[in-house]
Amino acid sequence: MGTLRDLQYALQEKIEELRQRDALIDELELELDQKDELIQKLQNELDKYRSVIRPATQQAQKQSASTLQGEPRTKRQAISAEPTAFDIQDLSHVTLPFYPKSPQSKDLIKEAILDNDFMKNLELSQIQEIVDCMYPVEYGKDSCIIKEGDVGSLVYVMEDGKVEVTKEGVKLCTMGPGKVFGELAILYNCTRTATVKTLVNVKLWAIDRQCFQTIMMRTGLIKHTEYMEFLKSVPTFQSLPEEILSKLADVLEETHYENGEYIIRQGARGDTFFIISKGKVNVTREDSPSEDPVFLRTLGKGDWFGEKALQG
């Protein structure tokens, strides 16, 4: 009996061990599925970036071959959008088109842009202008909206329908409402990197490159002018030549802080100079760790602080 009991006990242990192994296998299979999804997502992102980088690489290879063959080397070309105007005076006279939309369509376009990896970092004012300038386009079933290799000048946001995206004959994905496509050609002035065909009737919103670039340049020049005025108002920078101020304006970055958030802490090492573009900040000083901070003053738009950090 003792031997049989031992065998039963050992059998129960083996059964429990198998159950644990099955549970572990299930967990590992789930983890593999999640990693497969992540790999697919990263592969899609990699395809996007490769499609942008490839035209520049091909251009460089052609130039290298020309140089080796003794041909005169041409100036390197970058992937960029062609300018539409050169100064703020010209751009201020450009009238952008406006196409009325329902609140639902406006929200859909805005959310689609904010969800797009290449356009989500645009300023809200730029996004609003893009939304206003987009016009309606409709395609029937089995229509080709974008053909791989063609020169593109439009970016689309889909409101209704479904499309299939292929590259070199291989299906990449299908897209439904609320998605942006065609943005690479409008952002980087390169040829279409994939083919987009309709699976059903679709309704789209579109904007052309010239209108898009006008919005980008006008906003950029207005910001640059704003930054220049800010810098000229700072005593530390007033003696600097215009060229240096312009370069400083080029490298200024816009940063956002929530209400009540600390920007600079007393005693911490400082390496950043701030100019207030919008909102207000309170300046306080802590004379003793055991006492409450002493309020000094409030700063608002156009005020600056932290300029000594630039002097080391």
What would the pLDDT profile of 264-291 be if each residue is shown by its tens digit? 888 888 888 888 878 999 999 988 877 8
- Report CA-CA distances (Å) from 207 to 80, 127, 134, 267: 17, 12, 5, 50
Question: Do the first three CATH levels of 88-216 and 253-311 match, i.e. the same topology?
Answer: yes
Q: What is the pLDDT of residue 221?
A: 81
Domain boundaries of the chain, sorted by first residue: 88-216, 253-311
Give the best-scoring range by mean pLDDT among 18-32, 140-154, 175-189, 292-306.
140-154
Q: What is the CATH number of domain 253-311?
A: 2.60.120.10
Interval 145-149 mean pLDDT = 93
Residue of 159, 213, 158, 203 lying closest to 181 (CA atoms):
158
Q: Count Cα neighbours of 184 within 13 Å in the Cβ-side half-sphere.
A: 21
Q: Look over the chain and give the mean of its residue pLDDT values, rounded to a whole number.
A: 80
What would the pLDDT profile of 63-88 be if each residue is shown by its tens digit? 444 444 444 443 333 334 444 444 55
Give the 3-state secondary structure of 122-133. CCHHHHHHHHHH
Interval 60-64 mean pLDDT = 46
* Greatest distance between any 2 Cα atoms in the chain: 102
The listed CATH number (1.20.140.150, 3.40.50.1390, 1.10.3720.10, 2.60.120.10) that belongs to domain 88-216: 2.60.120.10
Q: How confident is the model at residue 217 (pLDDT cuts 50, 70, 90)?
A: confident
